[in-house]
Amino acid sequence: MRFHGLGVLASGRGSNLESILKARARGELSIPTLVVLSDNPDAPALAIARAAGIEALTLPTGPFRTRLSAEAEGDWAASLRQRGVDLVALAGFMRVLHAPFLSSFPDAILNIHPSLLPAFPGLRAQAQALEWGVQWAGCTVHFVNEGVDAGPIVEQAVVPVKAGDTVETLSARILEMEHRIYPTAIERVARGAIRIEGRRVFPAAPNIISRDMQR
């Protein structure tokens, strides 16, 4: 399946959003970003979107801190659909999504996480990696399901943990890779170049196009 319009959900800094917009400007991303939604009116991501001429909105979240209410999830999904969004990218979005939102975009929500999943899901992934003493860290682009950082993996990149690393230096090394692999992974998904089988993601079967054309 090909996707035609990207919606980005961001709560903060927006550097991954920026890398997506830059990849599009360089002609490396076929899918346009149609809208950016945030739960945080002060998110720098909103200014980054607007500076690029992209609609950016803060929508109500309901009473919870770590998720959206069911009603809010319905509204967020409707706002995206109304604008032609069929693929969603979470980019530093700090709330866990549930059924009303997930079922609006089946197999069409991506997230980037700053660890080599399934190691270190959740918050403070880079600090967890340092505390554990791993020698290799990295980042993962994955589909979003009901679990936390738990869906099928689309792309991963590895970076070394160096002696003397702090959370800041390791995070910066990982972030550089995030900015490379997120646009690439979004492009593969948007072009319909992958298929999901259980937990695993494979290159799409090459005969899909010819089968469509035979109809």
Near ligand GRF by CB under 6 A: residue from 24, 95, 113, 173: 113
Told to check if 194 binds ligand GRF by CB under 6 A, we report no
Closest CA to 171 of 95, 94, 113, 89: 113
- The position carrying tokens 């695993």 is 200
# binding residues, ligand GRF (CB under 6 A): 13
> Minimum CB separation from ligand GRF for residue 99, in Å?
21
d(CA 171, CA 128): 11
Q: Residues 98, 113, 142, 179: which is the catalytic one?
A: 113
- Can residue 112 be called a binding residue for ligand GRF (CB under 6 A)? yes
Total Cβ atoms within 10 A of residue 204: 16
Contact status: 12 vs ligand GRF (CB under 6 A): yes
Q: Does 141 bind ligand GRF (CB under 6 A)?
A: no
Dihedral (Cα; 19, 29, 109, 203), 10-degree rounding: -120
CB-nearer residue toward ligand GRF: 13 or 98: 13
Is 151 one of the binding residues for ligand GRF (CB under 6 A)?
no
| 183 lies in the binding site for ligand GRF (CB under 6 A) | no
Distance CA 14, CA 8 (A): 10
13 counts as binding ligand GRF under rule CB under 6 A:
yes
Coil, strand or helix at 193: coil
Q: Which residues are catalytic?
A: 113
